[in-house]
Chain A
Amino acid sequence: MNLMADILLNVLTAFLVGSMLLGLHRKVVARIQMRPGPPIIQHLLHLLKFYIKESSFPKTATMPFYIGIAIIFMVIWVSAVIAGPVTQGPLLITFGIYAIHKIVEHNAGSSSGSPYGKLSCVRAVFSAAGEMPLFAVFIIIYYRTGTVTISEIIHYQSINGSLLYTAPLAAFMYFILILSKAQYAPFAVTESTDIVSGYKTEHFGMLRGYFMIADSIMWYMLLWSFLMVFIGTMSPILYIIGMVGITVGVAFISAITPVLNPNHSVALQIIFAVTGITGSILFI
């Protein structure tokens, strides 16, 4: 297939599947809390509604950075799709994008001039320490497989079996990372409701729709990377089942736990990281 067509198809798939999964996340959270909740396509409808809505830019916003950061948010997740499903290139690019996501949260918050955005910006810097497990996962995968290229990791798993069984603590740490990026989750300190919508508070109207498109791609990519790195190649149906399973698991945790205090959130993530690293070294 033509590379450009492949990229467009993968970006579109990531967007549609990601937005449906985020809708499912909200639905499951609502059902666990004994509420009917929105329909599963609500995230998609919401996103389209915002996308055509009038936008006015706050006077306190730092232009053109206020719009530029929204573009960077989309750029990093489109890049993740290219580095992941399209080319199956180096894992380091995918993991680096997760780290850049924190910088986007920080700058989106600070560019708006809103106190909620600024608070979220401070929390993004603070919670960057929570990305520590990511590098531990990266090192463990390298020690296990001897490679950091996604296609070679998949090949390794087709011969030696799934990494989920041989490096379960790395998989657990990666799951914690997914959890930290989910809305309403205990580690979602940058966009919790106590600071309205955090770094997205002042990005409303069309720009919010744009952020939500990037959010959908992000969610798909987080789940795709988990399944690809820790389970390996499967049929598309099994991928969808895997993504639905992880989303439901994350939604269940989000529904029954409150958002943690930022200090506790970071401390807990670091404890998970230290446990995971120590345990993995002992396993190796």
Chain B
Amino acid sequence: MNKKSTINSSVFIISVSFIVYALIFNPPEWMVIGISIAFIPLSILSFGLLIMAKARKEEEEDRIREPFIGY
């Protein structure tokens, strides 16, 4: 597992953990709102980054060296 996947998995697990915590333990209102504002967007983003298609090993270099890189 590379560095990006590790970060994304960690963010996703932490986000979902906080959301589940708020669902089960019913913390104070300000805490639930804080968890929602921070972790709903992060969980959607990290989940997307985890499941999105990845370049094959031999294509990785092409993805980094774009034919047109500047304006």
Q: Does A213 contact B (CB under 8 A)?
A: yes
Q: Which of A10-63 contact B (CB under 8 A)?
A: 11, 51-56, 58-60
Taking A4-B36, A56-B63, A58-B69 as given, write out 14 further A-B residue pairs in contact, using a Cβ cutoff of 8 Å, ordered by the A residue number.
Answer: A8-B19, A8-B36, A51-B52, A52-B48, A59-B69, A71-B41, A74-B41, A74-B44, A75-B41, A78-B41, A82-B33, A82-B37, A206-B49, A210-B45
- Asked if B52 and A59 sit within 8 Å, CB to CB, the answer is no
With A3-B32, A52-B51 known as contacts, the answer to whether A78 contacts B66 (CB < 8 A) is no
Give every chain B residue within 8 A of A59 (Cβ-Cβ): 66, 69-70
With A51-B48, A206-B49 known as contacts, the answer to whether A71 contacts B42 (CB < 8 A) is yes
With A4-B22, A60-B71, A78-B36 known as contacts, the answer to whether A54 contacts B55 (CB < 8 A) is yes
With A60-B69, A71-B45, A79-B37 known as contacts, the answer to whether A52 contacts B26 (CB < 8 A) is no
With A59-B69, A113-B71 known as contacts, the answer to whether A7 contacts B52 (CB < 8 A) is no
Pairs across A and B, CB under 8 Å, 19 listed: A2-B23, A2-B26, A3-B32, A4-B26, A4-B32, A8-B40, A52-B52, A52-B53, A53-B52, A53-B53, A54-B54, A55-B52, A60-B69, A60-B70, A71-B42, A71-B45, A74-B41, A78-B36, A210-B44
Q: Does B29 contact A (CB under 8 A)?
A: yes
Give the distance in Å from the alpha carbon of A114 to the alpha carbon of B70 in the complex.
8
- Asked if B71 and A4 sit within 8 Å, CB to CB, the answer is no
Query: Which A residues contact B (CB, under 8 angstroms)?
Result: 2-5, 7-8, 11, 51-56, 58-60, 67, 70-71, 74-75, 78-79, 82, 87, 113-115, 205-206, 209-210, 213
- CB-CB nearest in chain A for B49: A206
Give the distance in Å from the alpha carbon of A117 to the alpha carbon of B39 in the complex.
28
* Chain A min CB distance to B47 (Å): 9
Give every chain A residue within 8 A of B42 (Cβ-Cβ): 71
Give the distance in Å from the alpha carbon of A78 to the alpha carbon of B23 in the complex.
17
Query: Which B residues contact A (CB, under 8 angstroms)?
Result: 19, 22-23, 26, 29, 32-33, 35-38, 40-42, 44-45, 48-49, 51-55, 63-64, 66, 69-71
Give every chain A residue within 8 A of B52 (Cβ-Cβ): 51-55, 205-206
* Chain B min CB distance to A235 (Å): 26
* Chain B min CB distance to A269 (Å): 30
- Asked if B48 and A209 sit within 8 Å, CB to CB, the answer is yes
Give every chain A residue within 8 A of B49 (Cβ-Cβ): 55, 206
- Asked if A78 and B69 sit within 8 Å, CB to CB, the answer is no
Partner of A58, one of B33, B55, B66: B66
* Chain B min CB distance to A207 (Å): 8
Partner of B19, one of A4, A71, A115, A213: A4
Give every chain B residue within 8 A of A115 (Cβ-Cβ): 71
Partner of A7, one of B26, B32, B55, B69: B32
Give every chain A residue within 8 A of B70 (Cβ-Cβ): 59-60, 113
- Asked if B53 and A54 sit within 8 Å, CB to CB, the answer is yes
* Chain A min CB distance to B11 (Å): 11
Give the distance in Å from the alpha carbon of A209 to the alpha carbon of B37 in the complex.
19
Give the distance in Å from the alpha carbon of A206 to the alpha carbon of B51 in the complex.
9
* Chain B min CB distance to A44 (Å): 15
With A56-B63, A79-B37, A82-B37 known as contacts, the answer to whether A3 contacts B29 (CB < 8 A) is yes
